[in-house]
Structure 1
Amino acid sequence: MTSFEQAAGTIELPRTSADSVRPDADARRSISPVALQALSWLAPALLVLIWEALAQGGYLSPQVLPAPSKVLRAAFKLASQGTLLSDLGVSLLRAAAGFAIGGAIGFALGILVGFSRIAEALIDRSIQMIRAIPFLALLPLVIVWLGVGEAEKVFLVALGVTFPIYINTTLGIRQVDPKLIELGHVQGLSTLQLIRRIILPGALPSVLTGVRYALATAWLALVVAETIGAQSGLGFLAMDAREFLRTDVIVLTIVIYALIGVAADLIARWLERRLLSWHPNYGAAR
């Protein structure tokens, strides 16, 4: 048990009105996790069934919105040709590289600003100004700097990922309960021990929230990057399909983006449960 967990257990927080209406662990465990997962997929499944029925009934034009069955056939055809898996792999590598670079930069800057008011005064204003610039406005300048190769695409992904992680890391550090820090001083923890055992664990929920936002932003940035001068990737596949009015392929790429987003969010939730098992809102009872 870390000092953060010990400190959290020794501080008695006042009961709020939310405590009186919060369901207890027994009530939450009355529904199995498998049933909850099945329930979460009910609405998307119904939507697909309605979509298929409308398309088969002629209410949706194939040129406007093809049936899911047609999109599925396009997926099998592209997969058998090797095109789909190749483009998917390229996009995943770009997203992973950009996420790693941008995540590391955002986390480092967040720690620096979170612990230092001087650092906040020096760099936070500039970071917020850059964050407010849309991707499309930066794209021409990035192309001039880096061309239309892999560096441009990874750079845009890294840029988009940096800000959510930076903001949430800074916020998480600033929101650590001062009473816990005071208790750490009383227990004789050094500055490094205080950071490692109390401050960073206390900031972790906010950091992981930033990771979830950054995962979504990474794909948004990648879509923008792959629409310009790309020769591979899901964005290139969609743009190439647009030239030939292949709406089934365009819809397929959109569905793949959605499925990747769901998978990334599931990974982020798994990390929350693993890294925040000590937290009452992220433990096994969740």
Structure 2
Amino acid sequence: MTVRFDMRHLRAFAVTAEQLHFTRAANTLHMTQQSLSTQIRQLENELGVELFIRTTRKVELTAAGAKFYEYVRDIFARLDAAVEDTRRIASGERGRLRIGYTPTVGKGVLPEIMVEVHQRLPDLHVVTVEGWTRDVTSAVAEGRLDVGVARCAVLTPALEGITLMHEPLGAVVGVGSPLANLDVIPVEELLGYLLITLPRDLSPGFYDRVIASFPMHAAEGRVHELQQLGHDTFFGDTFAHAEILAGNAFFVTFERHYPRMFEGFVWRPVSPPPLVGTDLVFSREGRSPSVDSFLEIATEVAKRRQRT
């Protein structure tokens, strides 16, 4: 069955059914009573039923009219919800956001960002996935993730990025090492020790930044890439664990990565401090409003954190 009425007819019916008074309904709709009566008759003719019982004293809904009113109220309620949802999705307040992040970021600024996101965008469905920088950037480029949060991200032509903040690297050393007795370790004091870092294959930008900060270690071949990888990084790598504990090596990382350091090890700042960026990575094309909202919140949180 093809219907020939539109939203004007439904609105006229809904207001009249609510007020059960043609004059008041016409005033509410800012139309003449004759125009309102015409629209109601057109709707009744199209449906093939009477919707109202009209007498000189009152207006009542017929049984069919009462049932139709239930449907019409539901239509307008759904329409209002659809309009609101559409506006919230367009503003980035609603929808889905898939975020990939690297391990050190997960123990750094990201938790603070996520608290703010949940507070300000409670209806945004957020999914977070941990991975290495190479995997996170690839997933964003391929559309499997919406945004990536990583250290020293290497951008491809499909990606765009902004640097959120910079944090200093320090050194994890064994408590028995002479380096542990220093409050701040000068870079030159590290020359006689093996440098242990993340594999370049998994975090190429981070690895290159570390090597640029300790060029003599690379020149002398005194660099070891972790081979047994997990959340505990160096602590789970048998070789790295033993060498650092014995006082022969150091592992470069951020202070916040180990809120509680493993027994037998300490973290010390390095001077001059090698600064490493935390980057937000997103698609160069088709960026969603939810990504824009996330970038705005992340930037605010990072600026606030840098001031403290």
TM (normalized to structure 2)? 0.24
TM-score, normalised to structure 1, is: 0.25
Query: Which structure shows the higher strand fraction?
Result: 2
